[in-house]
Structure 1
Amino acid sequence: MLMAQENGKLILAVGAVRNGKYYCPQCGQLVILKNGKNRRPYFAHLPKAVKLEAESVYHKAGKQRLYNDMLKIKYSVQMEVVMNNKAQRADIYISNKALALEYQCSAISLKSVANRTLEYNNSGIKVWWILGDNYLNRRLTLATLQKFVRYKPECGFYLVFYSVRQSRYLLWSHIEEANGIFIYQVNRYQSLQECWRDWDDIQQIKPKLKLRKQEVSREAHRLQVNVMLKNQQYLELADLCYRCGYILTGAPIICHSISHRFYPIFYEVGLNFDLGCCLS
């Protein structure tokens, strides 16, 4: 890798210094400068063990920021608190609100998130999962939504992040799915309290008609490509449409609203689920 980011700007390896802090432009992970007498300077990703150590540093910094922010608004807050059931330890516990804040930087299974959330709820404690830079810098997936997404009528389906690198909170609100891609609005805050105070007033930006037509067109193309590739799921949908007197590639026109996208509540692409329900 010949270029990396430093303070948000791209820098060439030939102009970098050994002790600088550089990040991969693609994944956002720390990289190091490699240089020698017989090779051209370049950037390389850190070994796995070093990456885990860096994640731990970010995790500690994020928890400390959450703790400090709760202190500023006079909450009764503790860090690394062992819960009454002795089964888990809360990153941040706000006793006067019976609220646990879990700052999640590394990968975690859906089962672990579900079990830990259930244990909190059984103890009469609400839990908020706040995601770190690793989740912020990757493409939003259904797996991440299944684990952490929340819903509030004013801002729809949403996720909350705290970025150590940016030193700010981010709220991804009004998460919707179009053509298998999740689309959302990004709101930035200096404190978690500011985020809580603002989210009742967030207005959803409706997609313009031209954009929705483009999304519907791409959806039709995606269906056609998957049928040509003999994807079994799409072949079954095509067969279902045929038996009902329809053509699969016309499905987006029937199933899509021209003003709204799909909510992220399905285990598959929203159109596939909607079409199956309409024709079954």
Structure 2
Amino acid sequence: MIYIIIINLLIVFLEAKLVIYLTDGPIEKIGPRLYKKELLTNEYKDPIELAYDSATRNLFFMYMDDELLNSGRAYINIITKESKKIKGIKRNKATAIDSETGQIYFGSNDGLYVYDPLTNSAENIGLYNVDVFKIVIRDNQMYIIDGNNHMIYKVFGKKVSKLGNAKTVINFDIDGERNVHFVTMCGVFCALNGNEIVKNKDINIAYNFIIDNNKTYAITDEGILEINCYNGTAYKVADLNFHPRSIIFGDYGDIFYSSDDNIYRLKPITSYVLYNLSRKQRNKT
């Protein structure tokens, strides 16, 4: 079946010509790039907190589990689309993958968990008095948000040390230069090397941060904005025609995102058939 999608992201007027893209499936356009849109699963309720493991090609995520009556953890293989629920953890809140070791970590209100692929279960390894609300691993260092006070901490084994004094932190990430990007009830900020704090003048709220090639992007109501940590500014690099609950980069330019009860994969389209219709030709049709 060939889809002819006639919506504004796929039909572009350029110099009085109508450009129509034809593909063998639904597509998305982000900035100048086209992506093939593939549904990975719709079997889980409200998936969020996506984390991708390049070694196994598994995409981990949190979802609302009717049996647990709380949040659970699962993964789906992006090649086979086989998915499994992960045992041993309830009230799951956070996930992160250490790209250096391949270790997969989960956070809950009773501490930090590590994933065992042999038993497909998560084991609590400490930080029992910490409500691990968010995990970020950068350059072999682990950072978390403690949901008890919504402040950022650096993890040292089974101990934590406060990173800065920012309060009411609801999301954060750390770029390749160790600048800490975070969102509070008061706005979007960047702590230069974890120290001097700069408030962003152009963004009031960021739903997600994406770190890619030492650049930091914020997902906002306006679309995707690239952040300049040093002068507290941001500028739009692309519109988004969907509203992701969670969004991350994968391998080879892939993008994974969740929306409602669905998890999608966006795969870059490197070649396509392009038809150009002049105004005169359009008037004849």
TM-score bucket of the superposed structures, by smaller chain: under 0.3
Which structure has greater helix proportion? 1
* Greater relative contact order, per chain length (Cα 8 Å cut-off, separation 6+): 2
Which structure has greater strand proportion? 2
Higher Cα radius of gyration = 1
TM-score for both structures, normalised by structure 1? 0.25
